[in-house]
Amino acid sequence: MSKARTLLGLVFLALGLWFLLAVFSSDEEPPAALQTFTSSAQCAECHAEVYDEWKASQHSISWTNPRVQALSNEFANQDCIDCHAPRPVFVTGIGERVLPRTARRPEGVDCISCHLLGDGHVAGTKTIPSAACSPVATLDLGRPDFCAGCHNQHKTVDQWRESDWPDRDQDCFTCHMAFRDGDPNRGRSHVFPGGNDLAMLQRAVDLRARRDGDGVAVELENVGAGHAFPTDERSRRADIFWRPASAPDRTPDGKTTWRHLYRIRDPYRTETDMPSTLVHAGETLRVEIPEVPDEELVVALFYMREPYFDDPALPDPEAKGAVLVHTVRVAPR
Ligand code: HEC
Ligand code: HEC
Ligand code: HEC
Ligand code: HEC
Ligand code: HEC
């Protein structure tokens, strides 16, 4: 008899527990179902397209990039680890400078850095409890402050805020995470084109040149970068060169025939004698070539990811992998 009563008691207890569980987990998967992610390779199983895009991005090479390895002395300079192998942005906190991690550093700025929330869920645009990664709609993921934890050291996000792009509803995502095939239902591309992409460089600025007395008036307008041109790393630079259209590429002894006119760059903190010559969003730079021969000329804009020329006395824009962005022809008088 007492045995039957105990059994009945147990049945009620079980029913009660089941009821409690059902109430508290009605719109969320029980935490036990949450997978613990230890590598971005795990995301690839289900998000192959995003993974391939990310692999093609600068974010995936932020640790292995030979330029970064060289400049940080293979990360002996520990300050460099922070943003190049960061802990998850949402764990450190939006608007905070990110912190370095100790594990899987070669994965760089990976899926986990950008998506993992403190509670083990992933930040997404929608809440989908049935998905293995259990994404939670997180508005902060889609805000420029999210990028700022790593991209405001050189004021890229501030430059955008001070421009008129926010009023035009154009932010980091519009220009750097465009919808795949322009279709919002397809989600946002993770390739993150920037200074590494010729089409982006070309849409950033307009280059114009016309005769003005004995010289040539050159204008460079920042029409399409949502911030300064160039922006972020102080190693970025752009240079305006010119030469007669009839000039050969090289002199017989192999020297460049391009003549340097103007440099656009934000100097390192130690280069105190140099002003910043960045062209801010919407601004137009105006420079003169004082005296030019009366023949057809070419004016050109080159972009480079390293700050110095090998021979400052004869700057050679075609050395060190500079990119030719725009050319304009100027007719004879
Ligand atoms: C956790 C740090 C971090 C976050 C967050 C982050 N980035 Fe980056 N980003 C980097 C690093 C580091 C690099 C450079 C990697 C390299 O070149 O080695 C980079 C590179 C880039 C590049 C390529 C630049 C080039 O050289 O052409 C673009 C564009 C970019 N990020 C845009 C964004 C945008 C937009 C956001 C916000 C949605 C964002 N990033 C969020 C750290 C971050
Ligand atoms: C506050 C975050 C942050 C820290 C700290 C940081 N970086 Fe970066 N680094 C970035 C971002 C963001 C980019 C991409 C910006 C761009 O493309 O202009 C970048 C890009 C670079 C690049 C350009 C890569 C290329 O292919 O052109 C080099 C080199 C670099 N960092 C070296 C370093 C070194 C060396 C240190 C330490 C002294 C360091 N970084 C510390 C955020 C950071
Ligand atoms: C076992 C499969 C699986 C794995 C592993 C997985 N996911 Fe998901 N994920 C899904 C499914 C299914 C969805 C919902 C449908 C969709 O959006 O593709 C989803 C949705 C998402 C979303 C939200 C999509 C939106 O529209 O907002 C994000 C963000 C996300 N996953 C990130 C990740 C990240 C980051 C990882 C690795 C840390 C990961 N996922 C691992 C299956 C997976
Ligand atoms: C209106 C479009 C637009 C908006 C908005 C925009 N960008 Fe850009 N961004 C560009 C273009 C075009 C380039 C290439 C020219 C350049 O390097 O400045 C670029 C370049 C970059 C680079 C690479 C710089 C280099 O030379 O290596 C980074 C990093 C970057 N943007 C980050 C951001 C962040 C972060 C935001 C949001 C605060 C943002 N961008 C907003 C258009 C935009
Ligand atoms: C530099 C930060 C960053 C990295 C790295 C990153 N993401 Fe994202 N991801 C975002 C942002 C920002 C969004 C879009 C937010 C929005 O639209 O509001 C997003 C959106 C998504 C979505 C939603 C659907 C879509 O395609 O827009 C999925 C799924 C996703 N990411 C998966 C991944 C996976 C998997 C990886 C690694 C291979 C990854 N992400 C790497 C920042 C990042």
The Å distance, Cα 227 to ligand 4 centre, comes to 6
The Å distance, Cα 35 to ligand 2 centre, comes to 32
Residue 178 and residue 251 share a domain: no
Q: Is the shortest distance between the CB of 10 and ligand 3 below 6 Å?
A: no
> What 8-state DSSP symbol labels residue 183?
-
- Contact yes or no for 218/207 (Cβ under 8 A): yes
Calpha distance 30→206 (Å, rounded): 55
For 113-136, write each residue's pLDDT tens digit.
999 999 999 999 999 999 999 999
Residue 95 domain flag: yes
Q: Is the shortest distance between the CB of 136 and ligand 3 below 6 Å?
A: no
No. of H helices and E strands in the chain?
Answer: 11, 9
Residue whose structure tokens are 């730079």: 285
The Å distance, Cα 172 to ligand 4 centre, comes to 7
For 15-43, write each residue's pLDDT tens digit.
445 544 444 444 444 444 577 888 999 99
CA distance from start to end of the chain: 115
Residue 257, classified by CB atoms within 10 Å of its CB into exposed (0-12), middle (13-18) or buried (19+), is middle
State the pLDDT at residue 32: 43
> What 8-state DSSP symbol labels residue 26?
T
* pLDDT value at 333 more than 90: no
Residue 177 and residue 219 share a domain: no
For 281-308, write each residue's pLDDT tens digit.
999 999 999 999 999 999 999 999 988 8
For 43-70, write each residue's pLDDT tens digit.
999 999 999 999 999 999 999 999 999 9
| Contact residues of ligand 1, CB 6 A cut-off | 58-59, 61-62, 65, 68, 83-84, 86, 89, 98, 109, 113-114, 146-147, 149-151, 172, 176, 192, 194-196
The Å distance, Cα 28 to ligand 3 centre, comes to 16
For 258-271, write each residue's pLDDT tens digit.
999 999 999 998 98
Residue 53 domain flag: yes
- Note down the domain range covering 158: 37-186
Residue 180 and residue 108 share a domain: yes
Residue 111 and residue 82 share a domain: yes
pTM: predicted TM-score of the whole model, two decimal places: 0.92
Residue 7 domain flag: no
Residue 203 and residue 151 share a domain: no
Listed residue (178, 218, 180, 210) closest to 331, CA to CA: 210
